[in-house]
Structure formats: C-alpha cells, structure tokens
C-alpha cells in the first residue's frame, strides 16, 4: 500500500523531456502568433499543459487494477456513445463524429481508443 502513496517509481527523466518539449512548443506558438490575431494563444497552451500535468499526477495515483475491473462497463458505455453519434451526432468539417453536451462537444471515438487499449490489456 505504501508503494501507491509515493512517486518512488515515477520516471522523472521522461517527465523532464516532456516538459522540455512543452516549453519548446509554447515558445513556437508564441513566436508564430506574435503580431497576429492569434496572439496570446501561448497562454492557452500553458493552461492545457498545467491541466494535463494535474491529470497525469492524479492518474498516476490510481491503481491500474481498479481501472481494469471497470473496463467492461466503460466499454459498454462508449459503445452506446458511438451508437448515439449515429443518432444525435453533429457534423463538423464533413464528418459526423461529435456529440454536443451543453456548450461542450464530445468525441466518443477518441476515448474508445483508450478504452480498447485497457480492454486488450485486461
């Protein structure tokens, strides 16, 4: 149990490389959008990087055995969501693959890729 409460086995070198890549991407976005109508998009990218880091550390604390126990149920939910795309999906850029949930849009096919990886691992 103690092992799940620490980041002893965490790959800090990989995290450092990812953060370096993120820093380069923020500078690239900043330089590409400077003096355009898209100026300031680098701050939006920083927000998403911070949100991704928070989600990564939260997911790192979850025991993957619990995820594997939930996979059949999640698979069923996303199968229903894929059928819902056919019934109530919205067409964006010529393809019908989005479901609108209030002001947000949800694309079940992208999440289904992750669920299939977990299902095959199970």
Sheet holding 90-92, edge to edge: 90-92, 95-101, 104-106
**Sign of the dihedral defined by the CA atoms of residues 11, 13, 17, 23, in that order:** positive
Residue ranges of domains in the chain: 1-62, 63-122
Model pLDDT, residue 6: 67
Mean pLDDT of successive 10-residue segments in the chain (122 residues)? 62 92 95 90 93 90 84 93 88 81 86 92 88
Rounded Cα distance, 121 and 112, in Å: 14
Model pLDDT, residue 55: 92
- CB distance 22 to 53 below 8 Å: no
Query: Which helix (H) or strand (E) element contains residue 6?
Result: none
């Amino acid at each position: 149990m103690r092992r799940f409460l620490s980041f002893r086995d965490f790959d800090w070198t990989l995290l450092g490389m990812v953060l370096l890549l993120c820093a380069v991407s923020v500078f690239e976005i900043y330089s590409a959008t400077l003096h355009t109508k898209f100026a300031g998009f680098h701050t939006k990218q920083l927000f998403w990087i911070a949100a991704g880091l928070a989600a990564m550390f939260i997911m790192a604390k979850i025991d993957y055995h619990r995820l594997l126990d939930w996979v059949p149920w999640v698979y069923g939910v996303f199968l229903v969501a894929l059928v819902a795309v056919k019934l109530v999906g919205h067409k964006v850029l010529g393809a019908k693959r989005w479901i609108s949930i209030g002001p947000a849009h949800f694309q079940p096919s992208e999440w289904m890729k992750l669920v299939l990886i977990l299902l095959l691992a199970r």
